[in-house]
Every structure is written in structure tokens, then in C-alpha cells.
Structure 1
Amino acid sequence: MVAKYEDESLKFFSLNGNIPLAKKVAQVFGTELGECTIKSFSDGEISISIEESVRGVNTFIIQATNQPVNDYYMELLIMIDAMKRASAKTISVVLPYYAYARQDRTANPHEPITAKLIANLIVEAGATRVLTLDLHTVQVQGFFDIPVDNLFTMPLFAQYYRAKGMCGDDYVVVSPKNSGVQRARSLAEYLDTTIAIVDQGETETDEGYVIGDVENRNCILVDDILNSGKTFANASELLKANGAKEIYACASHALLSDGAKETLEQSEIADVCVTDSCLTQESRHPKNITYITCSKLLGEAVKRIHENTPMSPLFSKVDKDFL
């Protein structure tokens, strides 16, 4: 039983992005979510009303920006403005999943940097701090002119796999693309394994290849965003072709867009472990998916922010009770 958090200078509010996760985070404190009403007019405009006083209160708004992304971002911006006008002392935004983070540079001429645009909107609306989970690239923190805490899910996955005895020389952590090497290396350090990289071909005729030794070893694919499932599925085929035994996968944010369920169920992957940072319809969940919660990690981070205590233990430990 979690002890009730008696500090009335702290209040949680949730928007529609991921209410079940928000309730779990509030439960870490033995409290409930604050009252607010979210309505939509017939033309799609969003109206929000805070149903209790937040004057002089440290507020935390929990909002995941999974599908429908744009609606949920608009809810967030309106809520921040409402908090500011209601004289909240601080307005901390908890974004378990930060959408648009993949558009963090101009890869081709005349492209926007949408990750920076979203950061500007959040800051200009009146947020005083952002807490998020596994940004697509850590450099996105620099797009904000307010403090940003970017937590990592690798300790959560490490605890999940170590509890199953999935560590040591019989396993290898695999990045399904070149850009995810650091993420794979981090998990491999927790599991005492080596790493490998799948260099997937850019065209249908280019099959790609595996960098590293995976023959007769169990493989754990790791990525931050699970969208269509094709990256995992294609990587698993290459690993099998190179002599891998059982194949597993983990991803921080399970967006599970149309077709992902079928792609993952038909793949060579035995188990796909994801966090509950994104809320998706159960009908879109493949049979081989396993959810673990990130609520204790987020809740502990909120507590440390509110109490002005160090955040560093959350980035370096895997054996703490709050994980």
C-alpha cells in the first residue's frame, strides 16, 4: 500500500492522451488526479476547464502525444494556458512520449524542424519544466529554453530481462539500424552481453547485413519507437538468416500503427516488450507483445523534481524498488 503524499502544494492533472498511466503515476504518491473537464465543440475546437484551485500550486500535466497526435498537443497547449491564467506556481509537463521528435533536423532542403517548433509552442504557452521518456535523440533537450529531464527506459527493460535470466554470453543485444547503437550498448551493459548491428538495405534489392556475431545466440532487438513493426520484422529475418536462435525485441514507445499487429505476429520475434508510455486500442496489440509500466519511474522523477532532490540515481541504477 502506497503511503498518501500529504503535500498539498502538488497536484496532478491528466489529459486524454494516456489516462491509465496518469492514474498509476498519481498512485505512486497515494493521491488522485485533479479535476478538469475537456470538451470539443462540433467544429473540433477544444475547451478545457480546471475544476479546482491551483493558485500557488506546483502542477504536473500528464499527456502522451500518441495518435491522434495533433489533438493531444492542442489539448496540452490549452491546458498549460489555463494553468498559467489560474496562477499555478509551476507548470511541469510530463510527456511520456514526445511526438515529432523524429523531425529534429533538416535532412533535405526546405524541411521544417518540427521537434523545435513543438518545443517553442510548449515554452511559449507557459510551461516551466518538461519531463519526458526516451527522446528520439537526446539533443532535442536543447530545443527548450526551460529545464528538461529525459529519462531512459533501458533500466526497465534490463530488469525485465534479468528477471528472466536473459543475460550473459548466450545473448546479444542488437540495434536494428545504425542510428540506435548507443541504445543497444546501454542495454548490453546492463545485461553483460555484446552488441550487434543490423544494417538494413535502403532498397528492396539490397537485403542488408549483420555486423557482429549472432550465430547460435539469442538476440534482443532494441529501439525507441515501435510504429509499423517493419524495422523489427526485417531485422529479425536477417538475424535468422545469420544463424540466430530465439529473437526478442523491446521498444520504449509502442505506437502500433495500422498493420503493425500483423507484421509483428508474422515475424520471427518471440516476444516484444514495450512500456505503457503510449495508449493504444487493445485490438491493435499483437499476441507476442508484453507491457511493462513506466509509472514508477515517472512518479519517482516527479517526486524528485518537486522535492528538489537529485535525479541522477534514476539514470544509473537498475535495482531500485521504484523501477
Structure 2
Amino acid sequence: MTLQIVAGSANPALAGSVAGKLGRELASAVVERFPDGELRPVVDGLQGADVYLVQPTGPPVNEHVMELLLLVDACRRAGAARITTVLPYFGYARQDRRGRAGQAIGVRVVAEALASAGTWRLIVVDPHTVALEAICAVGVEMVTAVPLLARELGAGPLGAREQDRAVVVAPDLGAVKLAEHYGALLSCPVAVVRKTRLSGTRVVAEELVGDVRDRPVVIVDDMISTGGTIEAAAQVVAGHGAAPEIVVVATHGLFVEAAVERVNRAGIRRVLVTDTLAQPAAPAMPLGVCSVAPLLADAIGRLHRDEPLDDLLARA
């Protein structure tokens, strides 16, 4: 089977970079849009191919999910032998359990829809839920950008001098394992903030476990959405005497609603994310972007050759 890379409209630059690293051109794909908002993707030249469809489902999430489902179906109808959906960012992954009766489990609904449309396998970068593999009816390869980001930290905003003194901070209990991963890669101790979420945008951070006094701090999370969690964590570590050189690292930078204002208000020196979601060329905050194109190209190349991904996979 020939290898083909198809790009959705959510992040064509990333898909192009992935294709370039694999020595390929992007397959022909056009998403036609009707005046009433309907989408009609058209793809060509996929007969008998091993297709990797790159489409993060970030904001606007619903439109990108619908486009992705239609693209999968278009690839299937174009004769693709197998279709792997590459979701650098998987919208709805946070909806992995019910908070009360009557709530939908969004991640399962989207995963089942992708399987029904013709997806054979998923590649996801640092999904919000480690249960994704158990939830999905198709195979899931959960790769991680943490080593890439840790290397970028050591070479840039943190540096060897500050790395010797730095503390990695989990902004909530859900990020402890992630913080421990960064801590191991950077040889840094870990501290944990305990928070209470009041709503989708309001977070109260209440206490800190660990010592950050007079030390540079690296706050880590899988994503930055509204910035509420990051702002609250930054206030807590500052209140415990951390050095002012606060760095924030996350795989996915959504930056919705007042996120940019919150980051700037918190006095954060540097925010480092990846390009799983397209980022502005001139951000209104101190933003650095690390590309996951090499990671995705490596994963795609190995899967196409039926090789294992063990060293690329996210920790459970």
C-alpha cells in the first residue's frame, strides 16, 4: 500500500510539515462549503492507499469534528485500503465520564462516529483521558509530546542554570503523573497545587504541597483552555515565595475566552505549547511553539511499516 497524507482544514500547516518529513506531498483534498454552512469534502487518488488523515478537533470543535467525519467517509469512498485518523488534539476527550445523571459521554460518541465512518485506527497526542484506548472501539495510539517539550525547556526558557534549581508544579491532582514525567526528564522535584473548579471558567487554588520558595517554577498541564487553572496555580506558587521566573508548559494551547489576559495578568514569563492546534503568528503573550510534526511523522512511518511505537507512547 502506498502512504498518503490527507489534511483537514483545522491545521493544514502541521499536516504539510508531517508530509514533508515523510518525503510525501499532501493528497488532493478540498472541503467545499455550501452557503448554508454544509460541508462537502472531496478527495482524490487514494485507491488502495494507507491513508493518514490529519485533523485536530480544536475550536470551533463541532465544525472540525463534522468535517473530520465527512473526510473519513470521503477517503473510504475514494477507495482507501485503511484509514488512520490523526488527532493531534482530540476535542471532547474531557467528556470521559458523567458528572450527574443525564450527561452524555462525548468522547465515546465521537469515537464511535469515527469508527462508523470508516476509521481503522486513531493517533492522538497526549489525550486528556488515559482511558481513551478503553473507550474507543478502534485501536488507539496515544503518543506523547512531553519529551519534545522537556528538551525545548532545557534548551530555551529554563536553561541548564535554572534547571538545577527549578520545581515542576502540577496545577491540580489530575496533572500529578504528568508533572512526575516532566520532573524525571528534567531531574527536578515536583510540587502539587490542590484546586476546586467552580465552573468551566472559574477555578480556586487552595494549597500547595512542596517547596518552591526562591526557586524557578515550571507549571505543567496537558492543555491550556481558558487559562483559569494556570492563573490560579501561578497565584499560589507566587504566594509561596516562588521566584518570578514562572514558565508554563502544555501540549495543547486552546487559549479560548480570556486565556491570554489571564496569562498576562499572572505575570508568567513564558508559555510553551506545541502546534497540535494552529497558533497565531504574532501572539499577544510570551508564547513559544514546539512542533509535533517530527513525532507524528515518526509514528506514521512506523505504523505504515508495521513497526512498534513503544518509546513514543504516552504513559498510562
With the length of structure 2 as denominator, give the TM-score of the two structures.
0.93
- Cα distance, 1:258 vs. partner? 2.2
Counterparts in 2 of 1:114 and 1:180: CA distance versus 1, 3 Å = same
Asked if residue 193 in structure 1 is aligned to residue 203 in structure 2, the reply is no
Is the contact made by 1:167 and 1:192 (CA closer than 8 Å) also made in structure 2? Answer: no
Match of 1:234 in 2: 232
Which position in structure 2 is the counterpart of 1:95? 87
Please say which of residues 286-295 and 9-18 is displaced more in the overlay.
286-295
Q: Match for 1:16 among 5, 9, 27?
A: 9
CA contact (8 A) 1:237 1:268 kept: no
**Counterpart in the other structure of 1:293:** 291
Change in 2 beyond 3 A, CA 1:207/1:13: closer
Partner-residue secondary structure (3-state), 1:39? strand
Question: CA deviation digits over 1:90-144, x for unaligned, max 9?
Answer: 1010000000000100122211100110110000111011101001011012111
State the match for 1:37 in structure 2: 30
The offset of 1:315, in angstroms, is 3.8
Q: Which residue of 2 aligns with 1:143?
A: 135
Q: Kindly indicate whether the alpha-carbon contact (under 8 Å) linking 1:96 and 1:133 is maintained by their aligned counterparts in 2.
A: yes
1:181 maps to which of 173, 176, 184: 176
Deviation at 1:281, TM superposition (A): 4.1
Structure 2 contact 141–313 (Cα < 8 Å) conserved: no
CA RMSD of aligned residues (A): 1.9
Give the distance between the partners of 2:203 and 2:128, measured in 1 at CA: 28
1:304 alignment partner in structure 2: 302
Residue-pair matches, total: 308
Percent of paired sites with the same residue: 31
Alignment-derived partner of residue 208 in structure 1: 206
User: How many Å apart are 1:288 and its aligned residue?
Assistant: 1.1
- 2:54 is matched with 62
| Aligned with 2:45 (options 53, 56, 78) | 53
Q: Secondary structure at the match of 1:269?
A: coil
| Matched residue type, 2:17 | K
Question: Matched residues in 1 for 2:161 and 2:275: separation?
Answer: 22
Q: Is the 1:14–1:33 Cα contact (8 Å) retained in structure 2?
A: yes
**Equivalent in the alignment of 1:133:** 125
Aligned 8 A contact 2:27 2:45 in 1: no
In the alignment, is residue 165 of structure 1 matched against residue 160 of structure 2? yes
How many angstroms apart in 1 are the aligned matches of 2:75 and 2:210? Answer: 51
How far apart are the structure 2 equivalents of 1:195 and 1:112? Answer: 35
> Does 2:113 align with 1:121?
yes
By how many angstroms is 1:167 displaced? 6.5
Shift of 1:313: 2.4
Distance 2:262 2:161 in 1: 25
CA distance in 2: counterparts of 1:308 and 1:167, whole angstroms: 41
Could you tell me how far apart the structure 1 residues matched to 2:248 and 2:301 are? 31
Deviations 1:188-218 (A, max 9, x none): 0001111001112456896511111111111
Unaligned runs of 5+ in 1: 1-7, 317-323
| Aligned match of 1:109 | 101
**For structure 2, which runs of at least 5 residues remain unmatched after alignment?**
none
Change (3 A) 1:69 1:207: closer
Q: What SS is found at the alignment partner of 2:160?
A: coil
TM-score by length of 1: 0.91
Q: Write the distance in 2 (CA, Å) between the matches of 1:301 and 1:216.
A: 40
- Give the deviation of 1:297 after TM superposition: 0.3
**Do the aligned partners of 2:162 and 2:216 also contact (CA within 8 Å) in 1?**
no
Corresponding residue of 2:69: 77
Q: Is contact 2:205-2:232 (8 Å) kept? A: no
Alpha-carbon distance between aligned partners in 2 of 1:44 and 1:60, rounded to the nearest angstrom: 26
Residues 9 and 119 of structure 1, relative CA distance in 2, 3 Å threshold? same
Corresponding residue for 1:319? none
- What residue is the counterpart of 2:272 in the other structure? 273
Matched residue SS, 1:221: strand
